[in-house]
Every structure is written in C-alpha cells, then in structure tokens.
A and B are shown apart, each in its own frame.
Chain A
Amino acid sequence: MSNYRIQGATGEWEVVIGLEVHAQITSNSKLFSGAATAFGAEPNSQVSLVDAAMPGMLPVPNRECIRQAVRTGMAIQAQINKWSRFDRKNYFYADLPQGYQISQLYHPLVGEGSLEVILDEKDPEGSTKTIGIERIHVEQDAGKLMHDQHPTMSYVDLNRSGVALMEIVSRPDMRSPAEAGAYLSKLRSILRYVGSCDGNMDQGSMRADVNVSVRRPGEEFGTRTETKNVNSVRFVMAVVESEARRQVDLIEDGGTVVQETRLYDPDKNTTRSMRSKEDAHDYRYFPDPDLLPLELDDAFLAECRASLPELPDAKRHRYENALGLSAYNAGVLTADVETARWFEVLLTATAAKAGKGEAEVSKQASNWLISELFGALNKLNKGLSDSPVSPEGGAELLALVADGTISGTIAKQVLEKMLESGDGAAAIVEREGLKQTTDTGAIEAAVDAVLAANADKVAEYRGGKEALFGFFVGQTMKAMQGKGNPQLVNQVLKAKLG
C-alpha cells in the first residue's frame, strides 16, 4: 500500500493511476508494408503505396513485429493469445491515410500479465509491488502533420504512417507518482532487454497516456481523465501530481471531474482539456476484412520463448546471489540492458586476466564501474554507450590494480588519461612511469623526510593522537607521487612511529 496522499482542505485523497504505453516495435519495416522505419528521415521518404493508402493496396502482416510483441508478452509473464485478430478503428484525419487505423480491439495478441516494481530505488531491499497489465495489442502508428511549412496549409509526413506500435495497457494499480514512474521505467527496461522497443522517449518511440482519478482512501474509483502522449518518466510523474491536485481542488470546490482527454504542457506543468467524452469519436471498430485472423503455432511460440534474454529481475537476483553484489549495485547494473551488457563483458575479461572466478572479481569490477567510471563519464557528459573506455580496457586497468602494479589512487589518474587519450591502461602506466614502487629503501627515505618535516605532529601522535596516522600516509604518498605501495608505506610508518 502506498502512503502517498494528497492533502485537501477536507482531508486526505488517494490517487489512482493507469498507464497506456505506446511502444514502437523495433523492426526494419512497418507493420503491414515493406517501407523502412528509420527515425529522422526526410519527410515522405519512407512511404510505400500501402502506407499512403493508394486505391487497391492491401496490408500484409509483418511477422517480425508480431514476434516482438509476443516476446514482450512473454517477458511480462502474460497470456499469449494463439488466435487474435486485427480490427479497423475508423476516423478521419489528414495524418491517417486509410481513414482507419488497423488495431486490435476485440481479440488482442497478448492478454493478462504483470511486472514488479521496487517502490524506492534508494531502498532496493524495501518493498516491491506488482502492477497488473491488462493487455498488449499491436497497431499502426499515424503520420505527422507539419503546421509550420506554409501560411495557410498543413503538410503531411507519412514516414511514421503504418509503423508498428504495441499498446501496453496497465491495470489501474498505481497509487503515487513514484509508482507510475517506477512502472514506466521498469517497462522501458524490459522492452530494451527484450529488444522489442528502443525505449527512446525523446524520439517518440515510447509515450504514455496517463489515466488519473482521485478518491477517498478505500472508496470507489473516481472519474478519470486521460492525458495523452506524455514522453518522459519525469513528465508522467508530473502529470499525475498536477492532475491529481487539480481534481482534488475541483471536487473540494464543489465541481465534478469529467471524463475527458487532456494534454500536458511541460512549460506550465499543467494539463488542459483537449476534448470531452461528448466529443469522442465513434470509431466504428470492426474486424479488418483485408486480414485473416492471426493464428500462432507452438513452434513459433517456442522460438519466441527460446529467444528471450535473461530479464532484469532474474539478472538482478543472479548478481546478488551468484556474484555476491550488494542489492544496490545489482539494481544499478541491471536497470538498463546496455549497462548490464557492459558490466558482463568487463566481468568476464577481469576474471580472465586475474585467472579467477567471476564471483571473486565481481565486487571490484562493479564498484569500479559504478563509483569510478560512471562518475568520470558523468563529468564528461557521456554515457556508457559513448564511453571512450571499453569494458576490455577497464579490465586491463583493474588487472593492474589487482596485481599491485598501480595503486587505487593511481588507477583514478590512469582512468582520466584513458578517457582523454583513448590509450590503454598499461601503455599509460608505462609511458607516465606510474608503476607503484615496492622499493623499501625509497619508501623509508620518503617516510623519514615526512617525519622530519612534521616533528610537531609526530609528537602529538606519540602523545596519543593516533588519528594522525592517516596524515602521515597521505604525506608520504604525496611525496612519492602516489606510487608507493600502500601496504609497505603503512608498515614502514608503523615501524618508525613505534
């Protein structure tokens, strides 16, 4: 149970949220035509005769799009319907060449499923919640109108027309902005693992219609509104917050929430009415007579299942249980499939170089990735995908630390140089003379010099202020430009300070 409550003038309110997520299916061609689907192409350069709805043109289902939707359904443990059907949703608009959208109303491809979200990312050991998913159906996207090309006319770009979408419809199971955000993030993570959608919300590959209503805790559902085409996790959370607030204020002022479609304005952080239920279209859904029912055989389903990768929950548990990572590290590394892939290459290479099992080097590798590399990349405004350091390069660096060639402190410097130059760790250490010294004579000389220069502090230390030990270590390392072997420095200092 979520404790999220909206404080109204008359008491507490609970928000109820359901999301309809439109996810563009990753495929080379459209749902019912052979036209390409690349993002950002010249207007109307990816339009087949079918997409433009020329007379006599017919849709033919793209098997790969169906396959991706089925795999997605399997990834959320959903029922896959071996018999489904396409329906026409009829309405007129200039970006809809056929005058209807081919969708699935009556018999969707994927039925009931669910996914689990962690309610507080900072507390991965904390409680989880299962969010129900009612269905996934497959449908065509529409084209795009361009209103800024001509003073009195609108232009139409049909590149998106006919692109395959999955509409993933949740149950009204979410009760706070954070839950809605966590659900959308988790869904995006699963889609990217499965490879059925790239999840690029800023390019419109994934967008959500946010259904919000409010009620007194424990009472019946209130009337909901639907805010269309929200294109980031942050905005979804903001929509829930502002729309719930608006509804509470409205009701408390004696008004009534009307069922309507709304639009989100990120600049003002408010939603505004687009059309009410009374203006809603009568879509006149009926089975598309150009298409036979979609019947899936067991071999196809088996192939879909066999091709599923390890999914985020399973991976997180494996990282915790088999690799011994902390819940936090496991959560961070498995949230995005690209991070997990990067980490696994790093882990394999690190273990190989050390001649050890992955479990033995996993902590070192995960800590370095999360605290060192992420931080360094962040400063450069880069992500893992455009990191100048490869996972193999990272493994090379970790090996140098593991075998004592360089210290952890030097490793930070080496990483910075790797990011700047793109050179390998060993080459940098060699070139810059960063190898750690185990020469006790040199260390003793450095320690003697430090103690001599800080006679007052030596006296304080000997007088019982043992915390000063770290100061002497730091000074010695500084004098040795960080190259002194830390264990030896410790030993010599202990001996000399007596």
Chain B
Amino acid sequence: MTDLTELGVAAIRDGVAKGDFTAVEVAEGFNANVAAAQAALNAFIVATPEKALEAARATDARRAKGEPLGKMGGVPIGMKDLFASKGVQTTAASHILEGFKPEYESTVSQKLWDAGAGMLGKLNLDQFAMGSSNETSYFGNVISPWRRNDGGNAPLAPGGSSGGSSAAVAARLAPAATGTDTGGSIRQPAAFTGIAGIKPTYGRCSRWGIVAFASSLDQAGPMARDVRDCAIMLEAMAGFDPKDATSLNLPVPEWEAGLSGDLKGKKVGIPREYRMDGMDADVAASWDRGIEWLKDAGAEVVDVSLPHTKYALPAYYIIAPAEASSNLARYDGVRYGLRDLPDGANLQEMYAATRADGFGAEVKRRILIGTYVLSAGFYDAYYTQAQKVRTLISQDFKNAFTQCDVILAPTAPTAAFGLGDMVSDPLSMYLNDVFAVPASLAGLPAMSVPAGLNREGLPLGLQIVGKAFDEQGVLNAGLAIEQRARFSAKPGRWW
C-alpha cells in the first residue's frame, strides 16, 4: 500500500472520494508522522490527533451516506498557531498567550473545517509572526527538515514566520498548512523548504480570529506541496466576511478549475531593480531558468521597472511595527493570558511586569520601533513618509502591470540559512524579505513555487506577483514553472 502521507491535498481528496482509502487512514498516517517528528523538528506547539480523527470519521460517515465531502474532504492540515481555535490553546508562539483557549474559531479555519478538513495541530511560528527564521517562538525554534549536502547536519531555519507550516508540509507531517503573510511569511518559508505557498490579494481571506500583527498587511493563505493543492485550499479559505471591515466582497473564483500552465498571450515582467549587486549566483541562475520556463510556456517576457523597490523594506519596517505596537497593546494582563502581578504592584507595574515577561526580544524591539515612529514629533517623518512610499510602491506595480500580466522574481535572496546565523543581526534578517515585502505593501497576490536546489542541495523558490484579484494568473504562472521545474526533491527522513 502507498504511504498516504506522500499524497497531497488533491490526491487525498480524490482518493477518499473514490474510496481508495479512508479519511481515517489518512489522518492516522499523518498523526503518526507528527508524533514521530515532534522531538526533532518542533513544528507543532500543540498536536491535536483526536481533532484530525474526528474530522476524518465525519468525512467517512458522509461518504457512507453518499453526501458531498467538501473541497477539503478528508484532508488533515496543520493550523498556524496564529488562528484562533475554539477550545484549543492559541498562543501566537508567545508566553503572554500561553494557555489561552479562545471561545471562538477564526473565520478561515472554520471555513476549512466546513470544507471537510481536519486539524492535526497548531503549528509553531515566529512569535506574533514577527521573524523570518522561526527563532523568535517562545516554544523553541522549528528545525527545517532540510540539510545541506555537505554532511555537516547543521540545523537550518525553515523560514518564517510560518516556519512550522513550511517544515510540516516539507517533512510530510501534513499535506498542507495554513500560513499568514505580512511581509513574506508564507512565501519565504515556502521557498526555504521546497513547497508552494500563496498570499492572496489583501482582503481575500478574512482576518477575523487571526491574532493581528500588522492589520493593513496581514493576509492568510495556503502552504502545500504544489500549485493545484494551493488553489484547492485557497478556494476553501477565501470569501467575504462581514466581520472583517477590510474583507473583499467578491465571489471566490474556481481557481482549481481555472488552472492552466499554458501562458500563450501572457506577458511576464522582470523587474530590473530586483537584480541587485552581489546577488547570490544560484538565486540569479534560478531566476534565469524561471524566465526560460515561462517563455517555454508561451509567455512573452518584458523588462519592467519598479523604481521605488529600495524604499519598500524601510517603509515596511515603519508601518508594520507601528501597527503592531498598537495591535499588541491589548496584551496587558487584565482580561486573559499572562498576568504578572508583583507584590504590591499598581496597574502600571502590572503592565510592565506582564509585558516584560510575556513578550520576546524581537516583539519588544518592534513594539519599541512602532511606538517611536508614531510619537509626537516623529510621526510625519516616519509614519506619514512611509505611507507615501507605500502609495508609490503600489503605483509602481500599477504602472508595471500596464506592460505585463504577472511579475517573476526570486522569493528570497538566499536559500535557507543556519539557525543562529542571523539572530544577532536583525538587519540581515530583515533583508531576507526584500523581494517579498513590496507585494505585501501593495496588497497584491504573490506566490512562491519550488524552482530547484542550490549548490548546497537546498531548495530555492521563484515568486510570481500578480494584479490585484488575479490569483488565477499567479497560480497559472506558478503551474507553468512547476511543470517545467519538475521539483521532486524532498528532505531525507533523518529524525
């Protein structure tokens, strides 16, 4: 019998529907993988095998009764621990929310359960989704299942902030997982671990019930083994939600049915500003291959300019911390989560003790930056200026999209780096998101697909950025690359 944990979303959905195997068998297989890998990879903060089985049993029962199984019928998934799960600890990988069990379920996760998916557990992440290596989690860093081919076995970063999600999917602990992307948090970890992931247009997926990092940027999306699986899962996650005032009131397209790797008549833009001095040679070569693949798929390749690219990262590191400094004010020890009340402490002292103890160093750094840039006397110089840059970046994309349908670029400037390599140098860490951040600021759909291995045997991703609402165009270009890259490498099971 085939190893069911080698199957992706579409294969599981179709196999369960046809009766090739049961949903319970699938859930049991993944539950076993989750348990076996936990000590080595630390991908989950909480495993919920019983939830996965419960959903699987419900799917099998529906099938027995001849009822429809849903877009995700029988597919167990990992849930990034940023989504509120009713009755299950939801922490954002922070100490301050340790033990917090919401009485509500996030809109996106509820949609997935309604579509027949089951939950394998809550996935580790960078604390409050702030980080690019999963090293800021209060619950310990996630270890990438990938290793360099130098025999050194140095532990590598799975990317971040959705590092538990990327590691779990790459290591076959889950066929798919949810991610959230604020400035690359789906795409960069997907690239680091050889999987696919898409951040849809801002507003496609409801933010209701997702612990907020930077509200104007946060967007949920799927992470899975291939483009088709992403399309299926995104259909289940997306949709208008009246509980989110920034939710897009648009019908959800049938992205899976619309998949086509034929790009005849399409134009692909190559942004010249992304070709930076000192670019990693393997990354540059991978990008060039990507260009050839898209030409091969029938697309015309055009040179485009995104002139304000160099200001994107600084603007992002003003806007995102500014919003975060305010969004995280609610963690004050008054109503839920950690409360640190030293003897005789007054309210201010309780706040100080609780937040000093409850937030990690990176979260504190961003709260401080955000508080600073919003302060009287600095607001115009930082926040207002950053918003202007954001408008210019959106304008850059609008202009570019008059000449092309999608944009192709590397997802990240490097392959996965070693754990600890960048911890003492936040700026280098931030630079890892340099290609991902512009699409976030513009709210555009963007995806990373695996494009091959570098000389160290580590995955590299290619990024496709599309016009607002054109997830289909992004997915189709991703599919064209996938069909030509024929990426089949996977990490050895060393754990």
Contact = CB atoms under 8 A, between A and B. Distances in A.
A55 B246 contact: no
Given A56-B208, A94-B334, A290 B329 contact: no
A282 interface: yes
Contact of B330 (A93, A99, A289): A99
B215 A290 contact: yes
Contacts of A55: 84, 90, 92, 97, 100, 102, 211-212, 330, 336
Contact of A100 (B326, B348, B351, B375): B326
A442 interface: no
Contacts, number: 98
A92 B367 CA distance: 14
A92 B333 CA distance: 11
Contacts of B323: 289
B104 A60 contact: no
Given A56-B210, A284-B326, A156 B375 contact: no
A100 B212 CA distance: 14
A67 B300 CA distance: 52
Contacts of A282: 375-376
A92 B351 contact: yes
B99 to A, nearest CB: 13
Interface in B318-339: 322-323, 325-326, 328-330, 332, 334-336
Interface string B180-213: 0000000000000000000000000001111110
A308 interface: no
B383 interface: yes
B384 to A, nearest CB: 9
A61 interface: yes
B263 interface: no
A211 to B, nearest CB: 21
A58 interface: yes
B36 interface: no
A156 B334 contact: yes
**Highest count of chain B CB atoms <10 Å: which of A52, A57, A285:** A57
A292 interface: yes
Contacts of B207: 56, 58
Contacts of B430: none
B395 interface: no
Give chain B's interface residue range (CB within 8 Å of chain A).
35 or more
B374 A284 contact: yes
B244 interface: yes
A290 B375 contact: no
B388 to A, nearest CB: 13
A92 B329 contact: yes
Nearest to A282: B376
Given A59-B245, A60-B245, A291-B245, A99 B332 contact: yes
A49 B334 CA distance: 14
Nearest to B100: A55
Interface string A338-370: 000000000000000000000000000000000
Interface string B95-117: 00100101110100000000000
A52 B351 contact: no
Given A284-B375, A286-B322, A56 B215 contact: no
B379 interface: yes
B326 A97 contact: no
| Smallest CB-CB A-B distances: 8 pairs | A99-B329, A289-B216, A284-B374, A289-B215, A53-B330, A56-B209, A55-B211, A282-B376
11 contacts: A53-B335, A55-B330, A56-B84, A56-B211, A59-B245, A90-B325, A92-B332, A92-B348, A99-B328, A284-B326, A286-B383
Given A56-B84, A289-B215, 12 more contacts: A55-B211, A56-B102, A56-B106, A58-B245, A60-B244, A61-B245, A88-B326, A90-B325, A100-B326, A284-B374, A286-B326, A292-B245
Interface of B: 83-84, 90, 92, 97, 100, 102-104, 106, 207-212, 214-216, 242-246, 322-323, 325-326, 328-330, 332, 334-336, 347-348, 351, 371, 374-376, 379, 383
